[in-house]
A = this chain, B = another copy of it.
Amino acid sequence: MEYIKHAMIATWKMSLDGMHQAYEDLFVKDDRKAALLTAITDVENNPDYHYVGYGGFPNACGIVETDASYMDGNTMQFGAVAGLRDIASPIAVAMELSGKTKDCFLCGEGAKQYAVEHGFESKEMLSNYACQQYKQHRKSIMEHDTVCMIAKDSVGLSCGVSTSGLPFKHPGRVGDSPVIGSGFYCDSLVGSAAATGNGEDVMRGCLSFSVVSFIKAGMDVQKACETALFEHLDRLKTAGYKAGDISLIAMDRYGRCGVATDMKQFPFVMMDDKHPDASVYVCRNENGTMHIQKADEQWLSSWQGD
């Protein structure tokens, strides 16, 4: 089997610019953590993306609250923040917390206090556009496009996640993104997975840990994503509950990627040694069968989402 030294995969088309910027971190510096920080902060800083960082839709009280996480698959250490206010880069705080043995998952005021004390940039995260949308109270907005990224360098895997969560959510709502095993999981000896979509439904199945467990049991990474997602949706159906709008990305320890979605289509971004120019791909779901293709010009110009 071919050995892939460097690889990176991310949810949604919005990750493309950041992944281009992360080229040097990953391929030249061989630093997966730096690559994830570069690429995810690009998404966080972009006001045009309304589900991540600055410009994200606020909670029911008009305040942007962010969730983020980072996990290193070599040390198995992780850091996470939930309900974080007024801090420019939630992923940077999660990365800092991942260096701690205790108190590595912080929420609310305590998370903000930690970030301020450790010199992270303060920022009013509500953009004018998001504020206007909040005032019009567009309840119809029920998307939730979290940025999730997994990167492999020559020594291991790591993953990072950042989101402003469900638009107009209850203050303090914690989605799956900062919840280890649900929004993210990473073990360099096995693989890594991350989730975007309906956080409550993702959590009910611990989907990221589930994907990694299937890889560990010998399943290939693509099959592991599909099995984790659709077995879980079946289980919820048995419970009398219609769940959905979930997409998963994963990478095994060899740098091979997998994706699954129960939506009609789910765009993601990839680059690796053989394809160092990051590109958008689309995973199309036809009755539970995934069809993955590179996005062509027509698709790129017609895609309305993030």
Contact = CB atoms under 8 A, between A and B. Distances in A.
A233 B61 CA distance: 43
A289 interface: no
Interface stretch (A15-23, A101-109, A123-131, A293-301): A101-109
A78 B173 contact: no
A174 B82 contact: yes
Nearest to A166: B102
A171 B116 CA distance: 13
Interface in A177-205: 179-182, 185, 187, 189, 200, 203-204
Contacts of A206: 180-181, 185, 206, 209
A239 B110 contact: no
Interface of A: 59, 65, 74-78, 80, 82-83, 101-111, 113-114, 166, 169-175, 179-182, 185, 187, 189, 200, 203-204, 206, 209-210, 213, 235-236, 238-241
26 contacts: A65-B110, A76-B204, A76-B236, A76-B239, A78-B204, A80-B174, A82-B174, A83-B110, A101-B200, A102-B166, A102-B169, A102-B173, A102-B200, A103-B173, A103-B200, A105-B179, A105-B200, A106-B172, A107-B174, A108-B108, A108-B110, A109-B172, A113-B171, A180-B181, A180-B182, A213-B213
